[in-house]
Structure formats: C-alpha cells, structure tokens
Amino acid sequence: MDQVFLDIYQAVWKEIFPNVEIMDLEKFKELYTKDLRLPKKYESVFDHTSVYALDDYGYKRFITEDEVKQRNEVDNFMKQKTEIIDLKDLLNNVGDVATFRGSRTINSDVVEESDSVYSSSYIFNSAEIRTCQKMVFCHGNKDCEYLAASRGNAESTFGIRLFDDGGVSNSFEVHWSGKSSNCYFCSNCFDLRDCMFCFNIVSKQYCIGNMQFEEAEYKQLKEKLIKEYFAQIDQLNAFRLLRDL
C-alpha cells in the first residue's frame, strides 16, 4: 500500500478513535473486511500483469486497460471472417479475444487494486465506487469520502464499518441509519448524535443501549467502553461486530 492510502486509513482511524492507538493495517483488514466484496488479484492473459476484479463475475481471462489500447491500435480486436460451423466452433474461435477488463476505472485517478470505479480519486482495494474520495477496502459507496471497510453508503464521511447508511459521519459499525454522527454499534436509527449500542431509535443524543444519559455520564462511559472493546478484541469469542450480539 502506498503511503497516500496509509495516510487516509490513519486519518479515518484518528477521527473515530482519537484516543486509541492506530491498529496495524493487516490486523484491521483481517478483523473488519472479511465479509466485504473486495476486488481480488488476477493475472492478465497477455503480459501477465496484475489486474483486480470482483470474483462474483466469474471471469477467467482478464486484460488490462493498456493491453486494450495497444490492441485497438493494431486491429481493434477484429478477426478475419471465417465460416461458423456451429456453436462449438464459434466458442473455439473467440477464445483469443474473449477477455475481460480488470481494474476498470472511468474519469478517476489515484486508484489501486480496485475495480468499477467512476469519477473518484484516491481509492484503494475497493469496488463499485461512484463520485467518492479517499476510500480503502470499500464496496458500493456513492458521494462519500474518508471511509474504510464500508459498503452501500451515500453522502457519508469518516466512517469504519458503515453499512447501508446515508448522511452518517464520524462513526463505527453503524448499519442502515441516517443523518447521524459520532455513533458506535448502532442499527436502524435516524438523527442520532453521540450514541452507542442503540437500535431503532430516532432523534436522540447521549444514549447507550437505548438508555438516556447526561453528557458527562455518556462521555465517561464511552471512553470506558471503547477501552474495554479494544482490550478484549483479540480474545477467543471476543465481541467485535454487531453480528456478534
């Protein structure tokens, strides 16, 4: 990973966990990206360079953008016409041109180990990204920036493990929620500020476990709970994600 992407990862972490030592990137990827559809590495069939694509396409023969451009300049991938005897004959005949683009980008720059990226910049190991900036290990986000290990979000920023959210910021492990910030381990919520372990509530602040606290109480408990969360994260049967509840 180039330093620019490491800087993005560190910036996201510091925004969400300012008082926690930054987790090693490999450990972060192991803990928080296993259930994400991220591009995998393949080899192009012609010059054997690396390309990236989602494995759910099922393609077997990949080609790079540079290889496409080179071939277009030669013959635009056209072949001399021959008689087509039957389907089997046709399938054998197209074998040398039946290749699929990997590492696909449109109107994007500073993109690495990614695929299906549109009008975005500074994207690492992510797929199906549209009009986003500064993303690492992400899938299916639009109009977002500074996200890590997140999928299916819109107009969200500075998040880790944001899933299917809209307008969520400075949050960790928040799912199917909107217009919320500074939240941790919440799901199906709207218009929250400074909440933890909350579910199915609307327009609240300083709540933990769907219970209301005073600001000072909340801040003290938040610091304690986050410290305990990371202290136990390497233990057998540790609580790591909402799905562990």
Question: Is a pLDDT exceeding 90 seen at residue 95?
Answer: no
pLDDT at residue 7, rounded to an integer? 98
Phi, psi (degrees; rounded to nearest 5) at 9: -60, -45
pLDDT at residue 115, rounded to an integer? 97
pLDDT at residue 39, rounded to an integer? 97
Phi, psi (degrees; rounded to nearest 5) at 194: 55, 65
pLDDT tier at 174, thresholds 50, 70, 90: very high
pLDDT at residue 86, rounded to an integer? 95
User: Taking the model in full, what pTM does it have?
Assistant: 0.94
pLDDT at residue 199, rounded to an integer? 98
Distance CA 236, CA 230 (A): 13
pLDDT at residue 72, rounded to an integer? 87
- In the chain, pLDDT over 70 holds for what percent of residues? 100
Question: Is a pLDDT exceeding 90 seen at residue 67?
Answer: no
* Other beta carbons within 10 Å of 84: 9
**Is residue 185 within 8 Å of 196, Cβ to Cβ?**
yes
pLDDT at residue 12, rounded to an integer? 98
Which of 22-36, 86-100, 171-185 comes out lowest in average pLDDT? 86-100
What mean pLDDT comes out for the span 52-59? 92
Question: Is a pLDDT exceeding 90 seen at residue 111?
Answer: yes
Token pair 């004959």 is found at 89
Which of 71-80, 173-182, 214-223 comes out lowest in average pLDDT? 71-80
